[in-house]
């Protein structure tokens, strides 16, 4: 049986992951309006990943007889003006999500909840990849974003991304 504090943090994470999906869909919409469909594709796939992360947290909780409580998902309160704004906001958001997962891990460690710690190991690795990807996108935008041809090529690269479901087994 999972500790009450750990369950509360896991529930919070479910809702934060769904919020992340909303946030990334807003980024995708921004890029569609900017005519950057490759960037939009990249963030649509990010949204799918976040939704799947929420579902994995829910499944983990259900598998451990913990009650899942879904809360209202807040509308992202961001003002996107420049092409780089979603990228920078995305990196900051991924760093925030990493801190949330670390807090769950810390609570699980205090309770000697090794099962939850093992479950979170995949997410810790995933967050490292997410932060690296977000940082790399910012660097590429800084290098190529002010050049129309460079931006076009970067958009084409991001448009080639395809969705791959997470390979975490519970």
pLDDT of residue 24: 98
pLDDT of residue 146: 92
164 lies in a domain?
no
Whole-angstrom distance, CA of residue 78 vs CA of residue 114: 37
pLDDT at 133 over 90: yes
Using 50, 70 and 90 to split pLDDT, how confident is the model at 166? Answer: confident
Which residues, at least 6 apart from 80, have a Cβ–Cβ distance to it below 8 Å? 26, 27, 30, 86, 89
> For 77-129, how does the pLDDT look when each residue is reduced to its tens digit (9 = 90+)?
999 999 999 999 999 999 999 999 999 999 999 999 999 999 999 999 999 99
Average pLDDT, the chain: 96
Report the number of distinct structural domains present in the chain: 1
Neighbours of 145 (CB within 10 A): 17
Q: What's the CATH number where 87 sits?
A: 1.20.1260.10
Range of the domain at 124: 4-69+80-159
Dihedral sign, CA of 46, 51, 54, 56? negative
43 lies in a domain?
yes
> For 19-36, how does the pLDDT look when each residue is reduced to its tens digit (9 = 90+)?
999 999 999 999 999 999
pLDDT of residue 167: 72
Q: Are 16 and 1 in contact (CB under 8 A)?
A: no
pTM of the model as a whole = 0.94
74 lies in a domain?
no
């Amino acid at each position: 049986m999972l500790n009450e504090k750990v369950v509360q943090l896991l529930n919070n994470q479910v809702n934060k992951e769904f919020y992340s999906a909303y946030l990334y869909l807003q980024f995708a919409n921004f890029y569609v309006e900017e005519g950057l469909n490759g960037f939009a594709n990249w963030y649509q796939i990010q949204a799918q990943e976040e939704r799947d992360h929420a579902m994995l947290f829910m499944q983990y909780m259900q598998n451990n007889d913990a009650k899942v409580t879904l809360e209202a998902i807040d509308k992202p309160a961001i003002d996107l003006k420049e092409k780089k704004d979603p990228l920078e906001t995305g990196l900051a958001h991924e760093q925030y999500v990493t801190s949330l997962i670390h807090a769950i891990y810390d609570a699980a460690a205090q309770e000697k909840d090794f099962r939850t710690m093992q479950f979170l190991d995949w997410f810790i690795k995933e967050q490292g990849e997410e932060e690296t990807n977000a940082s790399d996108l910012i660097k590429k935008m800084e290098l190529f974003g002010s050049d129309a041809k460079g931006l076009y090529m970067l958009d084409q690269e991001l448009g080639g991304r395809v969705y791959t479901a997470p390979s975490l087994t519970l």
